[in-house]
Structure 1
Amino acid sequence: MAPYHIRKYHIRDHKQVLTLFAQGIEEHIPATFHHLLKLPRALLLLAGGPLILLLVSGSWLLALMASLTFLMVLRFAAAYPFKLYIAMSLQTDMADIMKTYLSGRGSCFWVAESEGQVVGTVGALPVEDPTLWEKQLQLFHLSVGMEHRGQGIAKSLVRTVIQFARDQGYSEVVLETSIVQSAALNLYQAMGFQFVRHSYFHISARLIELTSVHLVFPMSSTQGRRL
């Protein structure tokens, strides 16, 4: 395995970072599609719709075409929340990473580099909420290229955020991920992140029951002191 090192983002990394970001988000679409196929209403649509058409029209071809059409609609529904998230991110924080993440002391963006290529990313921004009792840092855009996984890069990037939070005086690191991102969930929980609540990123995610999971890492935790 090629060695890697973690450093702060530089403007020259922008194209590679955006490519890695989009690929990392889009890879969850197949898992979401499988998740959607297991929902009772989706199964009812796939089985009931073509059956009704068959009974009404007597055409197996029409019923088959209806089944394929329903599958295409479900595939689009599975992809839509992720495509929307990518589009929103490219118009907001990821449009100018230097300005968003590196213009102040309380935020940062890092990349993992291997053989001159960006193979991992993670960002961190302060949570701006005057009602909060705790000073929170939010972790964003953790991603590692598929061919570079299994080397501990994701864990190193998360540790980098946690250490940054500790150095900057934050009391908690928070993040949000989805239920279909099982590898990420397992990583966060193994590192000491604790479940807070569920929510939905967008109404389109609610329609397909794509739940977002909110996690928190208290800096005072035993796990936090070991990291």
Structure 2
Amino acid sequence: MASFHIRQFQERDYEQVVDLFSTGLKEHIPASFRHLLTLPRTLLVLVGVPLVTVLLSDSWLLAVICIFFMLLFFWFLVSHAWNKYVSKCLHTDMADIPKSYMSAHGSCFWVAESGGEVVGIVGGLPVKDPPLGRKQLQLLRLSVSSQHRGQGIGKALVRTVFQFARDQGYSDVVLETGAVQQGAVTLYYSMGFQKTREFFRDTLVWLLNLSIISFTYSFPSAPKHEL
């Protein structure tokens, strides 16, 4: 098992961080595509449209061609949804990591390094409008290189966020992840996160049934000592 260590982000890490983040998210395109094909409404379209084509044209070849282009269209929709999200991130907080994460109190960005290479990333930003009486840190951009998974890097990065949150006086760590990202969902449950809601970010992801799950990890309250 390769060794690794976790440290704060440095500007020289930027290109590796962006590549790791983008590649990690786009890895979910095939799984999202397979998920889309299991939906009843998708199956209805894939069966119904070719049947109508056969009835109208009396050509099975045309029906097969129709199925091929529908599958191509569905792949395009799924790819577009993920690429759109990646682009949004790269034009917001990931555009300038030092400014977004490193310049303000209560936020930070970390990398896991192995053999001089960035193999994992995670960030934390304060929630702007937390529930009354709560101080929440949002865990963001967790990703581990596919060649270095299964080594405990993801858990180590989450624990780093937990320690930072405790030190900064946060009451909760919150995050959002796609339901199709089964590895991430399993990781968060295993580390004590609780699911708080499931929703769709926009109309496209609703059509593709790519729901988002919100998780919360709450730190135990400090015991009160009697005077």
Other structure's SS at 2:95 match:
coil
* Deviation for aligned residue 1:130: 6.1
* Deviation for aligned residue 1:202: 2.2
Other structure's SS at 1:128 match:
coil
Other structure's SS at 2:70 match:
helix
Q: Which amino acid aligns with 2:167?
A: D
Q: How does 1:10-25 map to 2 (within 5 A)?
A: 10-25=10-25
Residues 96-123 of structure 1 deviation map (CA, whole Å, 9 limit, x = unaligned): 0000000012000000000000000000
Q: How does 1:51-200 map to 2 (within 5 A)?
A: 51-129=51-129, 132-200=132-200
* Unmatched segments (≥5 aa) in structure 1: 222-227
Number of residue pairs aligned between Structure 1 and Structure 2: 222
Other structure's SS at 1:119 match:
strand
Aligned mates of 1:219, 1:23 — CA distance in 2: 32
Given the two structures, how large is their TM-score scaled by the length of structure 2?
A: 0.95
Other structure's SS at 2:94 match:
coil
2:130–2:136 Cα contact (<8 Å) kept: no
Aligned mates of 1:65, 1:116 — CA distance in 2: 49
Residues 111-167 of structure 1 deviation map (CA, whole Å, 9 limit, x = unaligned): 000000000000000000165431000000100000100100000000000100000
Aligned mates of 2:165, 2:81 — CA distance in 1: 30
* Deviation for aligned residue 1:77: 1.8
2:137–2:173 Cα contact (<8 Å) kept: yes
Instruction: Identify which range, 149-158 or 60-69, moves more after superposition.
Output: 60-69
Given the two structures, how large is their TM-score scaled by the length of structure 1?
A: 0.95
Aligned mates of 1:185, 1:191 — CA distance in 2: 10
- Over aligned residues, Cα RMSD in angstroms? 1.3
* Unmatched segments (≥5 aa) in structure 2: 222-227
Other structure's SS at 1:3 match:
coil
* Deviation for aligned residue 1:34: 0.9
Aligned mates of 1:3, 1:182 — CA distance in 2: 25
* Deviation for aligned residue 1:29: 0.9
Aligned mates of 2:135, 2:50 — CA distance in 1: 54
1:200–1:211 Cα contact (<8 Å) kept: yes
Instruction: Identify which range, 56-65 or 164-173, moves more after superposition.
Output: 56-65
Partner of 1:219: 219
Other structure's SS at 1:35 match:
helix
The percentage of counterpart residues that share the same residue type is 53
Residues 22-80 of structure 1 deviation map (CA, whole Å, 9 limit, x = unaligned): 01100111111111001111001111111111111011221111000110111112222
Q: Which amino acid aligns with 1:43?
A: L
Q: Which amino acid aligns with 2:144?
A: V
2:127–2:136 Cα contact (<8 Å) kept: yes
Partner of 2:29: 29
Partner of 2:225: none
Aligned mates of 1:46, 1:109 — CA distance in 2: 44
Instruction: Identify which range, 67-76 or 122-131, moves more after superposition.
Output: 122-131
